[in-house]
Structure 1
Amino acid sequence: MTDAPEACAAPDPAEERGPLRRCVVTGAVQPKEGMIRFVVAPDATVVPDLEERLPGRGLWLTADRAALDKAVSKNIFSKAARRAVRAAPDLGERLERLLERRCLDQIGLARKAGQSVAGYEKVREALKTGRVGRGGAPGLLLEASDGSADQRGKIAALAPHLPIVDLFDSAAMAAALGRDHAVHAVMARGKLADGLARDAARLQGIRGFVAGAGPAGQG
């Protein structure tokens, strides 16, 4: 499987119209923000299209590990595509790595754009003043999964309305933020924060977390 296939069949305009999509596993119709688009590459392999730009008929799946595993094991992608296609047995693991990379890349882009600050005191100051670096109002909190529960609680209490992404440990956060150590960070409201929030929620589902509990939620 390749992560970025070349040309596929022409898109189906009807299938891609509107904000709702039907999950090929559950049949549920829901907003595409909580779903993942797959397409069939020229070699008949199923590949994720996280940017939702690849040509071809989209095969939409709820961002849920159990649903993905069922799609692979029960050959549901072939039924949805109406032809024989191949889904790699480790598609879930590959998708998880792609989503992790997207999330960390967006954290890095926010740092380079001056739309984030890191460090306990800097984050506290940003939340109190309502301004993040060269960006605007705070839009998303980043907390290392292995950080102090006490300090995380104090930060969260300053902005109880902000979504929290805590899917990565301090080492991964530090690498994305260009620091030796990072436990707390905040991103300014905007496109990057919105994109990270969506990808983090999808990653949470593909990792197999229960919806509404733990990372990427409100605490």
Structure 2
Amino acid sequence: MTRGGHSKDRADDPERKCIATGDTHPKYGLVRFVVGPDAQIVPDILGKLPGRGIWVSADRKAIEKAAKKGAFSRSAKTQVTVPDGLVDEVEKQLARRVVDLISLARKSGSAVTGYEKVKDWLSKEVAEVLIQAVDGSGRGKTKLSTPHYGSYIGWLTAEELGLAFGRQNVIHGALASGGLTKRVVEEAQRLKGVRENTAAGVVGKGKTAR
């Protein structure tokens, strides 16, 4: 079953260069870091902390490479401290960000959960994004298909989705078009890059989850 998705190109979105790979990407495809008052590298998930931004691709290996190879100090042009477990902290903050955005979408009426409600939204073409828990039953998840030209998010846990929807555990969810949906997809894509076990979900039109 296709687990597709796509996001429109944003030609007007500023690009930044990754200090680990040297590749240039739009800002929404990277993670911003700043040097804190104690000369320690701090992730700036929301992109609002003061100071000169240091950019790394939203990719686990890229962040680990930057941390191990002294790339942060070279970019900052001063000696900085990289805290242990930096990439895990980035993953934690990104997951919280995605959960918060889905929660806001739910409160605005742009998100639903529950197999039957999600199925109804899909059949009526209301849903633009299908969300399923990475640790949910594979058999149950295959009964729902990603919206045509829509997106699929499949690397949040049932507990994380439960937090987003105000329940204990959630397996199926859906987002309507408009509102916060585009931001949810972009932030989820960043999370996918830094989360170790993302094999159950793939963003990208025509891609298949394995």
**TM-score after normalising by structure 2:** 0.84
Question: What is the aligned partner in structure 2 of residue 215 from structure 1?
Answer: 201
The one-letter amino acid of 1:207's match is R
Question: What is the aligned partner in structure 2 of residue 117 from structure 1?
Answer: 112
Larger helix proportion, structure 1 or 2?
A: 1
- Contact 1:72–1:89 at 8 Å: present in 2 too? no
**Count of aligned positions:** 194
Is the alpha carbon distance of 1:74 and 1:113 closer, same or farther for their aligned partners in structure 2, counting shifts above 3 Å? same
SS in 2 for 1:155: coil
User: Aligned ranges for residues 171-182 of structure 1 at < 5 Å?
Assistant: 171-182=159-170
Question: What is the aligned partner in structure 2 of residue 190 from structure 1?
Answer: 178
**TM-score after normalising by structure 1:** 0.81
Is the alpha carbon distance of 1:168 and 1:209 closer, same or farther for their aligned partners in structure 2, counting shifts above 3 Å? closer
Residues 17-57 of structure 1: CA deviation (Å, up to 9, x unaligned): 96211111111112222111111112211111111122221
Larger radius of gyration between Structure 1 and Structure 2: 1
The one-letter amino acid of 1:152's match is K
- Contact 2:155–2:197 at 8 Å: present in 1 too? no
- 1:58 Cα deviation (Å)? 0.9
Task: Supply the distance in 2 between the matched residues of 1:101 and 1:65 (Cα, whole angstroms).
Answer: 17
| Structure with higher RCO (Cα < 8 A, 6+ apart) | 2
- Is 1:63 matched with 2:58? yes
- Contact 1:200–1:216 at 8 Å: present in 2 too? no
- 1:146 Cα deviation (Å)? 2.1
Q: Alpha carbon RMSD of aligned pairs, Å?
A: 2.0
Gaps of 5+ in 2: 1-11
Gaps of 5+ in 1: 1-16, 132-137
Question: What is the aligned partner in structure 1 of residue 17 from structure 2?
Answer: 22
The one-letter amino acid of 1:164's match is Y
- 1:192 Cα deviation (Å)? 1.8
Question: What is the aligned partner in structure 1 of residue 97 from structure 2?
Answer: 102
Is the alpha carbon distance of 1:196 and 1:18 closer, same or farther for their aligned partners in structure 2, counting shifts above 3 Å? closer
Task: Supply the distance in 1 between the matched residues of 2:114 and 2:13 (Cα, whole angstroms).
Answer: 41
Residues 169-205 of structure 1: CA deviation (Å, up to 9, x unaligned): 2232123212344211101122422122111111111
Task: Supply the distance in 2 between the matched residues of 1:151 and 1:160 (Cα, whole angstroms).
Answer: 20
Is the alpha carbon distance of 1:64 and 1:187 closer, same or farther for their aligned partners in structure 2, counting shifts above 3 Å? same
Is the alpha carbon distance of 1:55 and 1:64 closer, same or farther for their aligned partners in structure 2, counting shifts above 3 Å? same
